[in-house]
Structure 1
Amino acid sequence: MGFGDIQAFNIALLAKQVWRLLHHTHSLFYWVYKARYFPNCSFLEAELGHNPSYVWRSLMAARDIIRAASKWKVGDSKKIRVAVDNWLAHKPVFTGEEQPDMLVSELIDEDTGQWNR
């Protein structure tokens, strides 16, 4: 078929399935994998687990590629963690102790919609 790099092509196809898991949450594909591998969290927070299938391992590898190359669109900022999630062009700089569970919404003044300095 003339594929130059079959491994890169495979990762691209797996990344497409990861995209489906992220955006088509009403599909049978999503619900089967959610029930088996990430029943209590989102796909982005899912762990590899104790007895993963070959397909699940492959999807997790492609998920890491998608995660590294994507950025959050802030919106209401109630799900984006300041220190953990990829939402800035650079890694955030903390003047005090880093708080991994701090949300971006905590940095915004609710009354004015401006950054809370």
Structure 2
Amino acid sequence: MSCFQLPQGLIKEIQSPFRISLELSGRTQVALLQLCASKEVGGLGFREVHYFNLALLAKQGCMLILEPESMLASVLKARYVPRTDFMNASLSFRPSMTWRGIIATQLILKAGCRWRAGDGRDIHAWLDAWLPWSHHFRPLTRPPDNNLTTKVCDFLLPVGKGGTWMLLVLVFTKMMWSISSLFRSPEG
């Protein structure tokens, strides 16, 4: 289940004996959604096979991001994404079932992953999720002059070992003010 995405027909086949056994045992029929509810809200904590399968595949996708030097990551990168990374990859010509399954979790990972700033050379300031205080982890303002190529390292002043953040720019981004209007104002 952690290697490829299970087809919907197979998922229904896996879950149907469970439903039949509940009906045949003479117990009151309980909806599967109620059984899959967490124990805190009165359910039995069972997992739906579809979501469990996606979680296992997302774990593989996470491994591709966190351990890009691993054997599996190297093979998949050489075969399917030689010129980009996993988060920007797409289905290529005749992908394997493994690659289809891992790519299916890409949107799930994009919704929950964010960059750690570090030196900021690989992070697009306006496109990538990297801000710790924003709900979407992205700047909510538009880039000045629609310049989408700005990297996070452009917000660092080359002072000392690690650089110093341009706090004025980041404070205005945090307060959701438009940086472009700041540069157009007569005072600044």
Instruction: Quote the Cα distance in structure 2 between the aligned partners of 1:44 and 1:28.
Output: 18
| Stretches (4+) displaced over 6 A | none
- The one-letter code sitting in structure 1 at the alignment partner of 2:164 is G
- Mapped to 2, the partners of 1:9 and 1:51 lie a distance apart of 26
Using structure 2 for the length normalisation, give the TM-score.
Answer: 0.55
Give distance in 2, aligned partners of 1:18 and 1:102.
27
| More relative contact order, 1 or 2 (CA 8 Å, 6+ apart) | 1
CA distance in 2, matches of 1:113, 1:3: 49
1:41 alignment partner in structure 2: 84
In the superposition, relative to structure 1, how do residues 16 and 108 fare at CA in structure 2: closer, same or farther (>3 Å)?
same
Q: Does 1:99 align with 2:150?
A: no
1:23 matched to which residue of 2? 66
Gaps of 5+ in 2: 1-17, 19-44, 170-188
Asked whether the equivalents of residues 3 and 9 of structure 1 are also in contact (C-alpha less than 8 Å), the reply is no
| Alpha carbons 1:77, 1:103 under 8 Å: kept | yes
CA distance in 1, matches of 2:60, 2:113: 15
Task: Provide the secondary structure at the position in 2 that maps to 1:26.
Answer: coil
Deviations 1:2-49 (A, max 9, x none): 843111100110011111111222322112101110112222222222
Output the TM-score relative to the length of structure 1: 0.84
Q: How many residues align?
A: 117
RMSD: 2.2
Q: 1:60 matched to which residue of 2?
A: 103
CA deviations on 1:78-115 (whole Å, 9 max, x unpaired) are 11101110112144213632222210111222226131
| CA distance 1:73–1:39, shift in 2 (3 Å) | same
- C-alpha distance in 1 between matches for 2:119 and 2:69: 23
Per-residue deviation, 1:64: 1.9
Question: What amino acid maps onto 2:151 in structure 1?
Answer: L
Between Structure 1 and Structure 2, which shows a larger proportion of helix residues? Answer: 2
